[in-house]
Amino acid sequence: MNESDSILSSVLNMTTLKLAGCKLGTFPAFLRHQSKLSDLDLSDNQIQGSIPSWIWKLESLTYLNLSHNFLTDFERPLQDLSSSLTLLDLHDNQIHGQIPFLPRRAVYLDYSANRFSSVVIPANTGDYPAYTIFLSLSNNSFHGHIPTFFCNFSSLQVLDLSLNNFSGSIPSCLMAMTETLAILNLRKNGLRGVIPDEFPTLCALRTLDLNGNQLDGPMPKSLVNCVKVEVLDLGINRIVDGFPCSLKNISTLRVLVLRQNNFHGSIGCPNTNDIWKTLQIADLASNNFTGVLPGKSFTTWEGMMPDEAQTLQYEITINVYYQDTVSISSKGRRVQWVKILTFFTAIDFSCNHLVGKIPEEMMNFEALYILNLLNNALTGQIPSSIGNLRKLESLDLSNNSLTGEIPAQMADLNFLSSLNLSYNHLDGRIPTGTQIQSFEAYSFIGNHGLCGPPLTTNCSINEKPGTSRTSHSENSINWNFISVEVGFVFGIGIVLLPLFFWNPWRTWYWQHIDDLLYRVFPQLNFRYECRGGKYYRTLRWQSH
């Protein structure tokens, strides 16, 4: 220890030290002598290498945040963690190998965004963490089956194992522990099999995220016990089931993602329209849903019309929150929202087999940001009340069978930055003097009746663009084609008919033709002979 460190250690006897974002490259050496230090924050620096073993010997340390650095491993020999440590945050480093310990008294443990591949499982049940509320191992290199070890965390409220390489089936005990577990995130692993039907009667689950696995079978019936669930994301699996009417009484549901599964049948529930008043994100894309869109059900989706903005999050402890994430198709690409605000609303029913008209009731979602109905079999006109969706940023109605003109009210959508109306049966003039004309032509192609910028098809001044304009154009093309044929036949007739039926003309014609040929080819010698009142031409080769 140098002289400056000695001075600091003798002068400073601190309890809290926050050096986040100070561009530190190493651990300050004087910290090892701070016996009363309880809160240490060295996050968002440039510290590299190993976590020193002396840091675990600080007996008063309760809060340690080393996140957002370049740490790679733990200095050996490993020491037991301070018995008083309640929060340990190592996320977003480059630490690899095993997690060597899980402090028994820690309430908050975040090992996410590293390169961990396994956990050292305690030999004795008494060594299991008894107070841990939050545990995140997300975005690491874990593989194999999910250890049932996690089911022994008796106080756990948040378990995040997402973005790993876990395989096999989901342990049933994870579903059984949702009596206390509020957040279960197994997103983007390689899990297979059915979702265990083991949700307890007093289910406290708030978020269930199983997106991006290979789960199959039906939805578990006991999920209906989870009456507090707000986020249900089962997208990108192989689940085979009908519309989840069993969840119709869950009044807290805000996010429903069933994208890219094998759900089928009609959207909506028979004998009731009063479902999901708080729903703000509905992603049912890429399934086998059929039938018409249930306009009456949409009248109860009050979550699409929020009055105030709040963040959809779960409070773990005081001022410590878990925030849900969701991926939504917006502006032609998948966008991950790491913070879901209650004012953000989206509907994606694309790539199904829906028919009928776009319901007028859907036009009352004044807070809607994204509306995606592409690749269905919707008919009828685009509702003129679409102008009510004043916050709409992305609208995709392409690949349907919509007819009529583009409503002029669409010009009122001042925040619209992505528009696709291609491949329908729309006609008429694209509304002028609006930002609609600023979109590329591909937003309107495949509608043979549309005209005006940005398309190259011009609208006539004195005619209504659309079907009449198209049929007029087609008639003009047909008459031009026919006139050429008539002229050709008439010209041939003028020449050939006299040759067949008028002998003087035929004689005169062939004499002139023969004279012309004789001048060009003097070797030819033509002679005409009269037989029975008709002239016959004979040809002889004349040698010189």
**Domains of the chain by residue range:** 230-420, 480-541
Q: 426-433: long-range contacts at Cβ-Cβ below 8 A with a sequence spacing of 24 or more?
A: 426/382, 426/402, 426/450, 427/403, 427/465, 427/466, 427/467, 427/470, 428/404, 428/464, 428/465, 428/466, 429/405, 429/459, 429/465, 430/406, 430/454, 430/455, 431/406, 431/407
Closest CA to 464 of 496, 427, 417: 427
Query: How much is the pTM?
Result: 0.80
Domain range 230-420, its CATH number among 3.90.1150.10, 3.80.10.10, 1.10.1040.10, 2.40.10.340: 3.80.10.10
**Structure tokens belonging to residue 49:** 């290498």
Residue 271 has what pLDDT?
A: 80
- Counting DSSP H helices and E strands in the chain, the numbers are 5, 38
Phi, psi of 194 (to 5 degrees): -90, 160
What is the 8-class DSSP label of residue 415? Answer: T
DSSP, res 421 = -
Interaxial angle between packed helices 503-520 and 467-501, expressed in degrees from 0 to 180 and rounded to the nearest 10: 90
DSSP state string for 299-338: TT-GGGS-SS--B-EEEEETTEEEE--EEEEETTEEEEES
Report the pLDDT value the prediction gives residue 483, as an integer from 0 to 100: 47
In 3-57, alpha helices (H): 3-11
CA distance 186 to 165: 10
Closest CA to 107 of 123, 84, 86, 126: 86
The predicted structure's pLDDT at residue 26: 95
pLDDT in tens, the chain (544 residues): 555 555 555 546 789 999 999 999 999 988 988 888 999 999 999 999 999 988 988 888 999 999 999 999 998 877 665 568 899 999 999 999 998 777 778 899 999 999 999 987 776 666 667 789 999 999 999 999 999 989 988 899 999 999 999 999 999 999 999 999 999 999 999 999 999 999 999 999 999 999 999 999 999 999 999 999 999 999 999 999 999 999 988 989 999 999 999 999 999 888 877 788 889 899 999 999 999 999 988 888 888 876 554 445 556 555 566 666 766 666 566 655 555 555 678 999 999 999 999 999 999 998 899 999 999 999 999 999 999 999 999 999 999 999 999 999 998 898 999 999 999 999 999 998 777 888 999 999 999 999 999 998 888 764 444 443 443 333 434 444 444 454 554 555 555 555 555 544 554 554 555 555 445 454 444 443 333 333 344 444 443 3
Q: How far apart are the C-alpha atoms of 221 and 226, rounded to whole Å?
A: 10
Whole-Å CA distances, 264 to 239, 328, 353, 375: 10, 21, 10, 16
Q: What pLDDT is stored for residue 407 in this prediction?
A: 94
Question: What's at 158, amino acid-wise?
Answer: V
- pLDDT value for 312: 53
Q: What is the pLDDT of residue 13?
A: 75
Strands 326-330 and 333-337: antiparallel
Cβ neighbours of residue 57 closer than 8 Å, sequence gap 6 or more: 32, 79, 82
